[in-house]
Chains A and B, each alone.
Chain A
Protein backbone atom coordinates (compact mmCIF):
# COMPACT_ATOMS: atom_id res chain seq x y z
CA UNK A 1 0.00 0.00 0.00
CA UNK A 2 1.43 3.34 -0.98
CA UNK A 3 -0.67 5.19 1.55
CA UNK A 4 -2.27 7.33 -1.11
CA UNK A 5 -5.88 7.23 -2.13
CA UNK A 6 -7.02 6.35 -5.63
CA UNK A 7 -10.60 7.16 -4.67
CA UNK A 8 -11.72 9.47 -1.91
CA UNK A 9 -15.40 10.21 -1.28
CA UNK A 10 -16.65 12.37 1.57
CA UNK A 11 -20.30 12.88 2.49
CA UNK A 12 -21.51 12.07 -1.00
CA UNK A 13 -25.26 12.40 -1.53
CA UNK A 14 -27.17 11.54 -4.69
CA UNK A 15 -30.92 11.96 -4.97
CA UNK A 16 -33.27 10.94 -7.77
CA UNK A 17 -36.48 12.84 -7.13
CA UNK A 18 -37.63 11.80 -3.68
CA UNK A 19 -35.34 8.78 -3.56
CA UNK A 20 -31.94 9.18 -1.95
CA UNK A 21 -29.80 6.59 -3.71
CA UNK A 22 -26.54 7.51 -1.97
CA UNK A 23 -26.82 9.11 1.42
CA UNK A 24 -23.66 10.58 2.91
CA UNK A 25 -21.17 8.01 1.64
CA UNK A 26 -17.52 8.07 2.69
CA UNK A 27 -15.25 5.77 0.73
CA UNK A 28 -11.47 5.35 0.63
CA UNK A 29 -9.71 3.17 -1.92
CA UNK A 30 -5.95 3.17 -1.23
CA UNK A 31 -3.69 2.76 -4.26
CA UNK A 32 -2.73 -0.80 -5.04
CA UNK A 33 -5.57 -2.40 -3.11
CA UNK A 34 -8.80 -4.13 -4.03
CA UNK A 35 -11.86 -2.79 -2.27
CA UNK A 36 -15.14 -4.67 -2.38
CA UNK A 37 -18.32 -2.64 -2.25
CA UNK A 38 -20.79 -5.06 -0.77
CA UNK A 39 -24.48 -4.50 -0.48
CA UNK A 40 -27.89 -5.78 -1.53
CA UNK A 41 -29.64 -4.59 -4.69
CA UNK A 42 -30.66 -0.99 -4.26
CA UNK A 43 -27.95 -0.18 -1.70
CA UNK A 44 -26.49 2.48 -4.00
CA UNK A 45 -23.52 0.56 -5.41
CA UNK A 46 -24.26 1.18 -9.08
CA UNK A 47 -25.08 4.84 -8.47
CA UNK A 48 -21.72 5.18 -6.72
CA UNK A 49 -20.00 3.59 -9.72
CA UNK A 50 -21.79 5.97 -12.09
CA UNK A 51 -20.68 8.96 -10.03
CA UNK A 52 -17.07 7.79 -10.25
CA UNK A 53 -17.21 7.89 -14.06
CA UNK A 54 -18.99 11.24 -14.13
CA UNK A 55 -22.18 9.73 -15.54
CA UNK A 56 -24.08 10.69 -12.42
CA UNK A 57 -23.44 14.02 -10.71
CA UNK A 58 -23.49 14.07 -6.91
CA UNK A 59 -25.84 16.52 -5.22
CA UNK A 60 -23.52 16.97 -2.23
CA UNK A 61 -20.10 15.92 -1.02
CA UNK A 62 -16.55 15.66 -2.34
CA UNK A 63 -15.35 13.15 -4.90
CA UNK A 64 -11.76 12.60 -5.96
CA UNK A 65 -10.59 9.95 -8.40
CA UNK A 66 -6.83 9.54 -8.96
CA UNK A 67 -6.39 12.99 -7.51
CA UNK A 68 -8.86 14.64 -9.88
CA UNK A 69 -11.91 16.43 -8.52
CA UNK A 70 -15.24 15.28 -9.90
CA UNK A 71 -17.22 16.25 -11.81
CA UNK A 72 -14.96 19.11 -13.09
CA UNK A 73 -11.93 16.95 -13.91
CA UNK A 74 -13.79 13.76 -14.62
CA UNK A 75 -12.44 13.45 -18.15
CA UNK A 76 -8.82 13.41 -16.96
CA UNK A 77 -9.71 10.79 -14.38
CA UNK A 78 -11.49 8.67 -16.98
CA UNK A 79 -8.38 8.63 -19.16
CA UNK A 80 -6.65 6.54 -16.46
CA UNK A 81 -9.67 4.56 -15.42
CA UNK A 82 -10.94 1.22 -16.72
CA UNK A 83 -14.61 0.39 -16.32
CA UNK A 84 -16.45 -2.92 -16.58
CA UNK A 85 -20.19 -2.27 -16.52
CA UNK A 86 -22.75 -4.55 -14.97
CA UNK A 87 -24.66 -4.86 -18.24
CA UNK A 88 -22.76 -6.16 -21.23
CA UNK A 89 -22.39 -3.37 -23.80
CA UNK A 90 -19.99 -4.96 -26.26
CA UNK A 91 -20.58 -4.44 -29.97
CA UNK A 92 -22.02 -7.86 -30.70
CA UNK A 93 -21.65 -7.85 -34.48
CA UNK A 94 -17.93 -7.09 -34.22
CA UNK A 95 -15.15 -9.54 -33.51
CA UNK A 96 -13.29 -9.78 -30.22
CA UNK A 97 -10.32 -7.97 -31.72
CA UNK A 98 -12.44 -5.23 -33.31
CA UNK A 99 -14.06 -4.50 -29.94
CA UNK A 100 -10.62 -4.04 -28.41
CA UNK A 101 -9.42 -1.97 -31.37
CA UNK A 102 -12.28 0.49 -30.94
CA UNK A 103 -11.33 0.99 -27.31
CA UNK A 104 -7.66 1.55 -28.07
CA UNK A 105 -8.90 4.55 -30.02
CA UNK A 106 -11.37 5.70 -27.38
CA UNK A 107 -8.57 5.52 -24.81
CA UNK A 108 -6.18 7.39 -27.11
CA UNK A 109 -3.47 4.77 -27.42
CA UNK A 110 -0.92 5.87 -30.01
CA UNK A 111 -0.81 4.08 -33.34
CA UNK A 112 2.52 2.38 -32.62
CA UNK A 113 1.28 0.87 -29.34
CA UNK A 114 -2.18 -0.25 -30.40
CA UNK A 115 -1.21 -3.70 -31.61
CA UNK A 116 0.70 -4.49 -28.41
CA UNK A 117 -2.16 -3.19 -26.26
CA UNK A 118 -4.65 -5.46 -28.03
CA UNK A 119 -2.34 -8.48 -27.72
CA UNK A 120 -1.82 -7.84 -24.03
CA UNK A 121 -5.56 -7.56 -23.37
CA UNK A 122 -6.23 -10.73 -25.38
CA UNK A 123 -3.60 -12.63 -23.41
CA UNK A 124 -4.88 -11.36 -20.08
CA UNK A 125 -8.43 -12.49 -20.87
CA UNK A 126 -7.16 -15.69 -22.50
CA UNK A 127 -9.07 -14.90 -25.68
CA UNK A 128 -6.19 -15.09 -28.14
CA UNK A 129 -7.68 -18.03 -30.00
CA UNK A 130 -11.06 -16.35 -30.30
CA UNK A 131 -9.78 -13.03 -31.59
CA UNK A 132 -11.65 -13.37 -34.89
CA UNK A 133 -14.92 -14.62 -33.39
CA UNK A 134 -17.91 -12.35 -33.45
CA UNK A 135 -19.01 -11.41 -29.95
CA UNK A 136 -22.48 -12.90 -30.41
CA UNK A 137 -20.80 -16.28 -30.95
CA UNK A 138 -19.01 -16.22 -27.58
CA UNK A 139 -20.14 -17.89 -24.36
CA UNK A 140 -21.32 -15.78 -21.44
CA UNK A 141 -18.02 -16.25 -19.61
CA UNK A 142 -15.94 -15.23 -22.63
CA UNK A 143 -18.04 -12.12 -23.12
CA UNK A 144 -17.43 -11.16 -19.50
CA UNK A 145 -13.70 -11.71 -19.89
CA UNK A 146 -13.72 -9.56 -23.00
CA UNK A 147 -15.64 -6.88 -21.15
CA UNK A 148 -12.88 -6.84 -18.50
CA UNK A 149 -10.09 -7.00 -21.11
CA UNK A 150 -11.66 -4.05 -22.91
CA UNK A 151 -11.31 -2.01 -19.72
CA UNK A 152 -7.59 -2.84 -19.55
CA UNK A 153 -6.31 -1.89 -23.02
CA UNK A 154 -4.86 1.41 -21.80
CA UNK A 155 -3.26 -0.03 -18.62
CA UNK A 156 -5.50 1.94 -16.28
CA UNK A 157 -4.25 2.84 -12.81
CA UNK A 158 -7.70 2.15 -11.41
CA UNK A 159 -10.32 -0.37 -12.49
CA UNK A 160 -14.00 -0.23 -11.59
CA UNK A 161 -15.77 -3.57 -11.77
CA UNK A 162 -19.54 -3.31 -11.37
CA UNK A 163 -20.91 -6.71 -10.37
CA UNK A 164 -18.30 -8.56 -12.47
CA UNK A 165 -19.75 -12.05 -12.04
CA UNK A 166 -23.47 -11.43 -11.67
CA UNK A 167 -25.61 -14.11 -13.31
CA UNK A 168 -22.71 -16.44 -14.17
CA UNK A 169 -22.34 -20.06 -13.16
CA UNK A 170 -19.75 -21.06 -10.52
CA UNK A 171 -17.05 -22.30 -12.92
CA UNK A 172 -17.14 -19.11 -14.93
CA UNK A 173 -17.15 -17.08 -11.76
CA UNK A 174 -13.95 -18.78 -10.59
CA UNK A 175 -12.35 -18.10 -13.94
CA UNK A 176 -13.13 -14.42 -13.54
CA UNK A 177 -11.86 -14.37 -9.98
CA UNK A 178 -8.54 -15.68 -11.26
CA UNK A 179 -8.47 -12.86 -13.82
CA UNK A 180 -9.26 -10.20 -11.22
CA UNK A 181 -6.69 -11.68 -8.86
CA UNK A 182 -4.03 -11.51 -11.59
CA UNK A 183 -4.87 -7.87 -12.11
CA UNK A 184 -4.55 -7.26 -8.39
CA UNK A 185 -1.19 -9.00 -8.35
CA UNK A 186 0.02 -6.53 -11.01
CA UNK A 187 -0.68 -3.72 -8.58
CA UNK A 188 -3.75 -2.26 -10.28
CA UNK A 189 -6.14 -0.58 -7.88
CA UNK A 190 -9.60 -2.13 -8.02
CA UNK A 191 -12.99 -1.06 -6.78
CA UNK A 192 -15.46 -3.89 -7.23
CA UNK A 193 -19.13 -3.78 -6.39
CA UNK A 194 -20.82 -7.06 -5.70
CA UNK A 195 -23.72 -8.58 -3.90
CA UNK A 196 -21.91 -11.89 -3.52
CA UNK A 197 -20.36 -12.18 -0.08
CA UNK A 198 -17.86 -14.80 -1.16
CA UNK A 199 -16.59 -12.60 -3.95
CA UNK A 200 -15.99 -9.65 -1.64
CA UNK A 201 -14.34 -11.88 0.95
CA UNK A 202 -12.01 -13.61 -1.50
CA UNK A 203 -10.91 -10.64 -3.55
CA UNK A 204 -11.24 -7.63 -1.30
CA UNK A 205 -8.30 -6.39 0.78
CA UNK A 206 -10.96 -4.34 2.44
CA UNK A 207 -14.71 -4.48 2.21
CA UNK A 208 -17.17 -1.67 2.58
CA UNK A 209 -20.68 -2.73 3.47
CA UNK A 210 -23.35 -0.46 2.05
CA UNK A 211 -26.94 -0.28 3.09
CA UNK A 212 -29.52 2.30 2.06
CA UNK A 213 -26.92 4.48 0.39
CA UNK A 214 -24.30 4.75 3.10
CA UNK A 215 -21.44 2.75 4.59
CA UNK A 216 -22.35 0.72 7.64
CA UNK A 217 -18.92 -0.90 8.13
CA UNK A 218 -15.52 -0.93 6.46
CA UNK A 219 -12.31 -2.88 6.91
CA UNK A 220 -10.50 -6.07 6.02
CA UNK A 221 -13.00 -8.97 5.90
CA UNK A 222 -11.36 -10.90 8.76
CA UNK A 223 -11.27 -7.83 10.94
CA UNK A 224 -14.92 -7.04 10.27
CA UNK A 225 -15.85 -10.58 11.22
CA UNK A 226 -13.79 -10.52 14.42
CA UNK A 227 -15.12 -7.11 15.41
CA UNK A 228 -18.79 -7.66 14.78
CA UNK A 229 -19.57 -11.35 15.14
CA UNK A 230 -16.65 -12.99 16.91
CA UNK A 231 -14.87 -16.18 15.91
CA UNK A 232 -17.44 -18.90 15.88
CA UNK A 233 -21.14 -19.42 15.35
CA UNK A 234 -23.42 -22.35 15.98
CA UNK A 235 -26.06 -23.21 13.46
CA UNK A 236 -29.29 -24.81 14.65
CA UNK A 237 -31.66 -26.47 12.20
CA UNK A 238 -35.25 -27.45 12.83
CA UNK A 239 -38.91 -26.58 12.27
CA UNK A 240 -39.83 -22.89 12.51
CA UNK A 241 -41.24 -23.28 16.03
CA UNK A 242 -37.96 -24.70 17.29
CA UNK A 243 -35.94 -21.98 15.59
CA UNK A 244 -38.05 -19.32 17.27
CA UNK A 245 -37.51 -21.03 20.60
CA UNK A 246 -33.71 -21.18 20.13
CA UNK A 247 -33.70 -17.55 19.08
CA UNK A 248 -35.59 -16.39 22.17
CA UNK A 249 -33.42 -18.47 24.49
CA UNK A 250 -30.15 -17.27 22.97
CA UNK A 251 -31.20 -13.66 23.11
CA UNK A 252 -32.31 -14.05 26.71
CA UNK A 253 -28.81 -15.39 27.40
CA UNK A 254 -27.34 -12.22 25.90
CA UNK A 255 -26.17 -13.78 22.62
CA UNK A 256 -26.67 -12.38 19.16
CA UNK A 257 -28.50 -14.37 16.50
CA UNK A 258 -29.34 -14.18 12.85
CA UNK A 259 -31.81 -16.04 10.69
CA UNK A 260 -30.56 -17.81 7.59
CA UNK A 261 -33.89 -19.01 6.25
CA UNK A 262 -33.56 -22.71 7.07
CA UNK A 263 -31.67 -22.31 10.31
CA UNK A 264 -30.78 -19.91 13.06
CA UNK A 265 -27.19 -18.88 13.75
CA UNK A 266 -26.10 -17.98 17.24
CA UNK A 267 -23.04 -15.77 17.02
CA UNK A 268 -19.95 -15.25 19.13
CA UNK A 269 -20.23 -18.56 20.92
CA UNK A 270 -16.53 -18.78 21.77
CA UNK A 271 -17.40 -16.40 24.59
CA UNK A 272 -20.75 -17.99 25.44
CA UNK A 273 -19.57 -20.09 28.41
CA UNK A 274 -22.05 -22.87 27.97
CA UNK A 275 -24.98 -20.63 27.12
CA UNK A 276 -24.86 -21.70 23.47
CA UNK A 277 -27.42 -24.16 22.16
CA UNK A 278 -26.48 -27.52 20.61
CA UNK A 279 -25.85 -27.40 16.86
CA UNK A 280 -23.23 -27.30 14.14
CA UNK A 281 -20.31 -25.11 15.02
CA UNK A 282 -18.76 -23.16 12.19
CA UNK A 283 -16.38 -20.20 11.79
CA UNK A 284 -18.12 -16.85 11.75
CA UNK A 285 -18.19 -15.20 8.32
CA UNK A 286 -18.82 -11.98 6.47
CA UNK A 287 -22.41 -12.90 5.79
CA UNK A 288 -23.04 -12.92 9.55
CA UNK A 289 -21.62 -9.40 9.72
CA UNK A 290 -23.72 -8.25 6.83
CA UNK A 291 -27.03 -9.58 8.10
CA UNK A 292 -26.34 -8.41 11.62
CA UNK A 293 -25.48 -4.88 10.54
CA UNK A 294 -28.08 -4.35 7.88
CA UNK A 295 -30.83 -6.76 8.80
CA UNK A 296 -30.89 -7.74 5.16
CA UNK A 297 -30.43 -11.11 3.54
CA UNK A 298 -28.18 -11.31 0.52
CA UNK A 299 -26.71 -14.00 -1.66
Chain B
Protein backbone atom coordinates (compact mmCIF):
# COMPACT_ATOMS: atom_id res chain seq x y z
CA UNK B 1 0.00 0.00 0.00
CA UNK B 2 1.19 3.47 -0.78
CA UNK B 3 1.48 6.02 1.91
CA UNK B 4 -1.00 8.89 1.86
CA UNK B 5 0.08 11.76 -0.33
CA UNK B 6 0.96 14.61 1.97
CA UNK B 7 -1.28 17.63 1.64
CA UNK B 8 1.79 19.83 1.68
CA UNK B 9 0.50 23.32 2.00
CA UNK B 10 3.01 25.99 2.93
CA UNK B 11 6.17 24.57 4.43
CA UNK B 12 6.17 25.25 8.14
CA UNK B 13 9.25 27.07 9.32
CA UNK B 14 10.77 28.10 12.61
CA UNK B 15 9.39 30.72 14.99
CA UNK B 16 6.10 31.11 13.16
CA UNK B 17 3.75 33.78 14.32
CA UNK B 18 0.63 31.57 14.55
CA UNK B 19 2.49 29.17 16.84
CA UNK B 20 3.71 31.98 19.10
CA UNK B 21 0.21 33.49 19.12
CA UNK B 22 -1.32 30.14 20.08
CA UNK B 23 0.92 29.80 23.14
CA UNK B 24 0.40 33.46 24.06
CA UNK B 25 -3.38 33.13 23.81
CA UNK B 26 -3.25 30.22 26.22
CA UNK B 27 -1.30 32.35 28.70
CA UNK B 28 -3.58 35.35 28.29
CA UNK B 29 -6.75 33.32 28.75
CA UNK B 30 -5.23 31.68 31.83
CA UNK B 31 -4.11 35.06 33.14
CA UNK B 32 -7.75 36.17 33.16
CA UNK B 33 -8.28 33.58 35.91
CA UNK B 34 -5.40 34.58 38.21
CA UNK B 35 -4.50 38.20 37.42
CA UNK B 36 -5.76 39.44 40.78
CA UNK B 37 -3.39 37.40 42.93
CA UNK B 38 -0.52 37.93 40.54
CA UNK B 39 -1.01 41.69 40.45
CA UNK B 40 -1.43 41.80 44.21
CA UNK B 41 1.85 40.07 44.96
CA UNK B 42 3.74 41.94 42.26
CA UNK B 43 2.52 45.24 43.66
CA UNK B 44 2.64 44.63 47.37
CA UNK B 45 6.06 42.99 47.51
CA UNK B 46 8.12 45.83 46.02
CA UNK B 47 6.05 48.36 47.94
CA UNK B 48 7.02 46.67 51.18
CA UNK B 49 10.69 46.70 50.15
CA UNK B 50 10.38 50.34 49.26
CA UNK B 51 8.72 51.29 52.51
CA UNK B 52 10.95 49.13 54.70
CA UNK B 53 14.22 50.21 53.14
CA UNK B 54 13.18 53.65 52.05
CA UNK B 55 11.90 54.71 55.43
CA UNK B 56 13.85 52.30 57.61
CA UNK B 57 17.26 53.01 56.14
CA UNK B 58 16.14 56.36 54.89
CA UNK B 59 15.92 57.60 58.47
CA UNK B 60 19.63 56.75 58.91
CA UNK B 61 20.91 57.77 55.51
CA UNK B 62 19.08 60.64 53.95
CA UNK B 63 21.28 60.95 50.86
CA UNK B 64 23.13 58.39 48.80
CA UNK B 65 25.15 59.05 45.66
CA UNK B 66 23.51 62.43 45.45
CA UNK B 67 19.92 61.12 45.59
CA UNK B 68 17.35 61.03 48.36
CA UNK B 69 17.37 57.49 49.70
CA UNK B 70 13.69 56.96 48.77
CA UNK B 71 14.53 57.98 45.21
CA UNK B 72 17.54 55.70 45.20
CA UNK B 73 15.59 52.68 46.42
CA UNK B 74 12.44 53.54 44.48
CA UNK B 75 14.29 53.32 41.20
CA UNK B 76 16.51 50.42 42.30
CA UNK B 77 13.64 48.17 43.32
CA UNK B 78 12.30 48.25 39.75
CA UNK B 79 14.98 45.66 39.03
CA UNK B 80 13.86 43.64 42.07
CA UNK B 81 10.29 43.68 40.81
CA UNK B 82 11.47 42.59 37.36
CA UNK B 83 13.43 39.70 38.86
CA UNK B 84 10.54 38.63 41.08
CA UNK B 85 8.02 38.77 38.27
CA UNK B 86 10.19 36.98 35.72
CA UNK B 87 12.77 34.52 37.08
CA UNK B 88 10.50 33.09 39.78
CA UNK B 89 7.31 32.59 37.74
CA UNK B 90 9.43 31.19 34.91
CA UNK B 91 11.11 28.64 37.18
CA UNK B 92 8.03 27.48 39.02
CA UNK B 93 5.52 27.97 36.24
CA UNK B 94 7.55 26.05 33.69
CA UNK B 95 8.17 23.21 36.07
CA UNK B 96 4.51 22.94 37.06
CA UNK B 97 3.33 23.08 33.45
CA UNK B 98 5.84 20.44 32.45
CA UNK B 99 5.70 18.10 35.41
CA UNK B 100 2.25 18.37 36.96
CA UNK B 101 -0.16 19.90 34.46
CA UNK B 102 1.54 18.36 31.41
CA UNK B 103 0.50 21.42 29.49
CA UNK B 104 3.56 21.24 27.28
CA UNK B 105 2.66 17.76 26.09
CA UNK B 106 -0.63 19.16 24.83
CA UNK B 107 0.97 22.17 23.17
CA UNK B 108 3.73 20.19 21.46
CA UNK B 109 1.17 17.78 20.01
CA UNK B 110 -0.15 20.81 18.09
CA UNK B 111 1.93 22.39 15.31
CA UNK B 112 4.19 24.18 17.80
CA UNK B 113 7.90 23.43 18.31
CA UNK B 114 9.84 23.69 21.54
CA UNK B 115 11.64 26.79 20.25
CA UNK B 116 8.30 28.52 19.67
CA UNK B 117 6.91 27.35 22.99
CA UNK B 118 9.88 28.67 24.97
CA UNK B 119 9.99 31.93 23.03
CA UNK B 120 6.30 32.65 23.52
CA UNK B 121 6.45 31.79 27.23
CA UNK B 122 9.46 34.08 27.70
CA UNK B 123 7.79 36.91 25.76
CA UNK B 124 4.69 36.61 27.89
CA UNK B 125 6.61 36.63 31.17
CA UNK B 126 8.80 39.54 30.10
CA UNK B 127 5.77 41.56 29.02
CA UNK B 128 4.35 41.10 32.49
CA UNK B 129 7.73 42.02 34.00
CA UNK B 130 7.71 45.15 31.86
CA UNK B 131 4.42 46.21 33.44
CA UNK B 132 4.92 44.99 37.01
CA UNK B 133 8.48 46.30 37.00
CA UNK B 134 7.15 49.87 36.89
CA UNK B 135 5.11 49.48 40.08
CA UNK B 136 7.88 50.42 42.59
CA UNK B 137 8.66 53.51 40.58
CA UNK B 138 4.99 54.49 40.54
CA UNK B 139 4.84 53.99 44.29
CA UNK B 140 8.00 56.07 44.69
CA UNK B 141 6.37 58.84 42.65
CA UNK B 142 3.69 58.97 45.33
CA UNK B 143 6.42 59.26 47.97
CA UNK B 144 8.20 62.16 46.35
CA UNK B 145 10.17 60.90 43.36
CA UNK B 146 10.06 63.58 40.65
CA UNK B 147 8.57 62.46 37.34
CA UNK B 148 10.74 62.73 34.23
CA UNK B 149 10.37 61.92 30.52
CA UNK B 150 13.07 59.27 30.70
CA UNK B 151 10.82 57.20 32.94
CA UNK B 152 8.73 56.34 29.89
CA UNK B 153 11.54 54.02 28.82
CA UNK B 154 11.39 52.02 32.06
CA UNK B 155 8.80 49.48 30.78
CA UNK B 156 11.13 48.80 27.84
CA UNK B 157 14.16 48.34 30.09
CA UNK B 158 12.13 46.09 32.38
CA UNK B 159 10.94 44.06 29.38
CA UNK B 160 14.45 43.45 28.05
CA UNK B 161 15.80 42.53 31.49
CA UNK B 162 12.71 40.42 32.14
CA UNK B 163 13.24 38.50 28.91
CA UNK B 164 16.69 37.44 30.11
CA UNK B 165 15.48 36.47 33.56
CA UNK B 166 12.44 34.64 32.20
CA UNK B 167 14.70 32.55 30.02
CA UNK B 168 17.04 32.06 32.95
CA UNK B 169 14.12 30.67 34.97
CA UNK B 170 12.95 28.44 32.10
CA UNK B 171 16.50 27.10 31.74
CA UNK B 172 16.68 26.26 35.43
CA UNK B 173 13.32 24.48 35.21
CA UNK B 174 14.62 22.63 32.16
CA UNK B 175 17.75 21.41 33.90
CA UNK B 176 16.16 20.74 37.30
CA UNK B 177 14.93 17.26 38.05
CA UNK B 178 12.86 18.33 41.06
CA UNK B 179 11.52 21.38 42.84
CA UNK B 180 14.21 20.99 45.51
CA UNK B 181 16.89 21.89 42.96
CA UNK B 182 15.48 25.42 42.89
CA UNK B 183 16.73 26.03 46.43
CA UNK B 184 20.34 25.95 45.22
CA UNK B 185 19.61 28.45 42.49
CA UNK B 186 17.66 30.82 44.72
CA UNK B 187 20.26 30.76 47.53
CA UNK B 188 23.46 30.62 45.51
CA UNK B 189 22.55 32.67 42.45
CA UNK B 190 19.48 34.84 42.77
CA UNK B 191 19.86 36.10 46.33
CA UNK B 192 23.46 37.32 45.90
CA UNK B 193 22.69 38.86 42.52
CA UNK B 194 19.66 40.55 43.98
CA UNK B 195 21.55 41.99 46.94
CA UNK B 196 24.67 43.04 45.06
CA UNK B 197 22.98 44.88 42.23
CA UNK B 198 23.18 48.40 43.59
CA UNK B 199 19.54 48.36 44.59
CA UNK B 200 19.88 49.16 48.28
CA UNK B 201 23.42 50.50 48.41
CA UNK B 202 25.74 51.68 45.63
CA UNK B 203 28.35 49.22 44.42
CA UNK B 204 30.93 52.02 44.58
CA UNK B 205 31.14 51.37 48.32
CA UNK B 206 32.35 47.81 47.67
CA UNK B 207 35.95 46.64 47.09
CA UNK B 208 37.16 46.96 43.52
CA UNK B 209 36.89 43.26 42.64
CA UNK B 210 33.24 43.31 43.70
CA UNK B 211 32.59 46.34 41.53
CA UNK B 212 34.08 44.56 38.54
CA UNK B 213 32.06 41.46 39.33
CA UNK B 214 28.99 43.64 39.63
CA UNK B 215 29.28 44.44 35.95
CA UNK B 216 28.63 40.79 35.23
CA UNK B 217 25.34 41.04 37.09
CA UNK B 218 22.55 41.82 34.61
CA UNK B 219 20.40 43.05 37.46
CA UNK B 220 22.98 45.75 38.18
CA UNK B 221 22.70 47.04 34.61
CA UNK B 222 18.94 47.09 34.96
CA UNK B 223 19.21 49.09 38.22
CA UNK B 224 21.58 51.61 36.66
CA UNK B 225 19.55 52.03 33.49
CA UNK B 226 16.35 52.69 35.43
CA UNK B 227 18.12 55.21 37.61
CA UNK B 228 19.54 57.01 34.61
CA UNK B 229 16.14 56.93 32.94
CA UNK B 230 14.76 58.74 35.97
CA UNK B 231 17.64 61.10 36.72
CA UNK B 232 19.52 61.56 33.46
CA UNK B 233 21.17 59.36 30.84
CA UNK B 234 24.89 58.69 30.79
CA UNK B 235 25.44 58.33 27.05
CA UNK B 236 27.51 55.39 25.81
CA UNK B 237 27.72 53.78 29.22
CA UNK B 238 23.97 53.28 29.11
CA UNK B 239 24.11 51.99 25.55
CA UNK B 240 26.70 49.44 26.72
CA UNK B 241 24.49 48.49 29.66
CA UNK B 242 21.51 47.96 27.36
CA UNK B 243 23.78 45.94 25.09
CA UNK B 244 24.74 43.77 28.05
CA UNK B 245 21.05 43.14 28.84
CA UNK B 246 20.33 42.23 25.22
CA UNK B 247 23.26 39.80 25.13
CA UNK B 248 22.14 38.31 28.42
CA UNK B 249 18.63 37.89 27.03
CA UNK B 250 19.72 36.26 23.77
CA UNK B 251 22.15 33.94 25.50
CA UNK B 252 19.59 32.81 28.06
CA UNK B 253 16.99 32.40 25.32
CA UNK B 254 19.13 29.89 23.42
CA UNK B 255 20.05 28.07 26.64
CA UNK B 256 16.37 27.86 27.63
CA UNK B 257 15.44 26.37 24.25
CA UNK B 258 18.25 23.85 24.55
CA UNK B 259 17.29 22.89 28.11
CA UNK B 260 13.59 22.49 27.31
CA UNK B 261 14.20 20.56 24.10
CA UNK B 262 16.27 18.08 26.08
CA UNK B 263 13.48 17.81 28.60
CA UNK B 264 10.47 17.65 26.28
CA UNK B 265 11.72 15.75 23.25
CA UNK B 266 13.38 12.46 24.05
| Contact surface of A with B, Cβ cutoff 8 Å | 3-6, 8, 16, 28, 30-31, 53-57, 64, 66-68, 73, 75-76, 78-81, 83, 85, 87, 89, 91-94, 98, 101-103, 105-108, 150
Contact = CB atoms under 8 A, between A and B. Distances in A.
Contacts of A78: 109-111
A80 B7 CA distance: 9
Max count, chain A CB within 10 A of own CB: residue among B11, B101, B109 = B109
A79 B105 CA distance: 15
Contacts of B187: none
Contacts of A102: 22, 25-26, 29
Contacts of A31: 4
Contacts of B4: 4-6, 31, 66-67
Contacts of B264: 55
Nearest to B14: A75
Contacts of B189: none
A89 B112 CA distance: 16
Chain B contact-residue range equals 35 or more
9 contacts: A4-B1, A4-B3, A78-B110, A79-B110, A80-B7, A83-B109, A102-B22, A108-B18, A150-B106
A94 B101 CA distance: 13
A178 B103 CA distance: 27
Contacts of B19: 106
Contacts of B30: 91, 93-94
Contacts of A92: 101
A85 B106 contact: yes
A80 B6 CA distance: 10
B109 A53 contact: yes
A105 B34 CA distance: 21
Contacts of A30: 1
A4 B3 CA distance: 5
Contacts of B18: 105, 108
B7 A89 contact: no
Contacts of B22: 102, 105-108
A98 B29 contact: yes
Given A4-B3, A85-B102, A56 B26 contact: no
Contacts of B3: 4-5, 8, 64, 67
Contacts of A56: 265-266
Contacts of B8: 76
Contacts of B103: 89, 91
Interface in B1-43: 1-9, 11-12, 18-19, 21-23, 25-26, 29-30, 33-34
Nearest to A4: B4
B265 A55 contact: yes
Contacts of B33: 93-94
Given A78-B109, A89-B101, A89-B102, A67 B25 contact: no
A113 to B, nearest CB: 14
What 6 A-B pairs come out closest when comparing CB atoms?
A67-B6, A106-B22, A89-B102, A83-B109, A106-B110, A79-B111
Contacts of B5: 4, 67
Given A55-B108, A67-B6, A87-B102, 7 more contacts: A5-B1, A53-B108, A67-B5, A79-B111, A89-B103, A91-B30, A101-B25
Nearest to B100: A89
A194 to B, nearest CB: 19
B113 interface: yes
Contacts of B111: 75-76, 78-79, 106-108
Given A55-B109, A56-B266, A105-B22, A76 B6 contact: yes
B258 to A, nearest CB: 15
B52 to A, nearest CB: 33
A70 to B, nearest CB: 12
Contacts of B113: 75
Contact of B105 (A28, A89, A106): A89
Nearest to A56: B266
A222 to B, nearest CB: 21
A105 B22 CA distance: 5
Nearest to B5: A67
B203 interface: no
Max count, chain B CB within 10 A of own CB: residue among A4, A91, A92 = A91
Contact of A105 (B25, B102, B108): B25
Interface string B151-176: 00000000000000000000000000
B11 to A, nearest CB: 8
B156 to A, nearest CB: 27
B102 A66 contact: no
A94 B29 contact: yes
B107 interface: yes
B265 A76 contact: no
Nearest to B110: A106
B201 to A, nearest CB: 41
A79 B23 CA distance: 15
